[in-house]
Amino acid sequence: MNTQIKGWHKLVIIVTGILAFLVVGVVVAIPWLLSELIASSQPDAKEEEKISEQAEQYLQMKYPHMKYEISYVFYDNGSQYGNFDYAAVILNTETQKTFMVYENRYNKQIEDDISIQEAAEFIEQVKPKVYSYIEKKFGEPIGIAFTPSSDIAGIPVLNISLNNNKEEINEEMFLSFIDYLQNELNIKHARVFITYDNETEIWDKEF
């Protein structure tokens, strides 16, 4: 009996020691993890200064006649954008429009998003015309999504879902629509997807 009691006593001591070690580890680790988390969410002053200087040089070379001011530096700690961490937010003091200048993490080039903004504005303008054409030629669509690219080198994507059955769609209709996008709406580049027949059939073209 005494041997059993001693064995249990030893086991209790070992388990208590392990639990105490884990508790101490957690108590020590939590503040450290919190400090690391807070530090990672705070912008780096050197990086902010770096992108500001880069933006000044870039703007003087690319837009020598633009009147502007650097409003602030945006730190993308939430990964809202995929191609940079820091961007200088620029105010064009003549147009009162803002845009961003940043170093693209992939090609290491300084870029701005003016062309991306212009593409987004253009797409908003042509969306009603696209819808009108589809409705007239194919009938009321299930859905249309015309999405601008978030990358300067990328192209916008046009997704159209139709109610039509397979026998109601042919290649000539699809190519006529592509011709309309290019020559009537002056869309230079796009990736077009048209699904129909309960989404079992698809036309796909990039230009």
From first to last of its 207 residues, the chain has per-residue pLDDT tens of: 555 555 666 666 676 767 766 666 556 556 545 554 554 568 899 999 999 999 999 999 999 999 999 999 999 987 788 889 999 999 999 999 999 999 999 999 999 999 999 999 999 999 999 999 999 999 999 999 999 998 887 899 999 999 999 999 999 999 999 999 999 999 999 999 999 999 999 999 999
CB atoms within 10 A of CB 106: 11
177 shares its domain with 135: yes
CA 156 from chain centre, in angstroms, equals 13
102 shares its domain with 127: no
Boundary (domain end) residue, out of 112, 147, 163: 112
34 shares its domain with 76: no
The boundaries of the domain holding residue 179 are 116-206
CB atoms within 10 A of CB 47: 14
34 shares its domain with 49: no
Q: Is 157 in contact with 147 (CB distance < 8 Å)?
A: yes
CA distance 14 to 71: 61
Looking up tokens 């990736």, which residue turns up? 191
120 shares its domain with 202: yes
Q: How many CA atoms lie within 13 A of 160 on its CB side?
A: 26
Number of domains in the chain: 3
202 shares its domain with 120: yes
- In Å, the largest CA–CA distance within the chain is 97
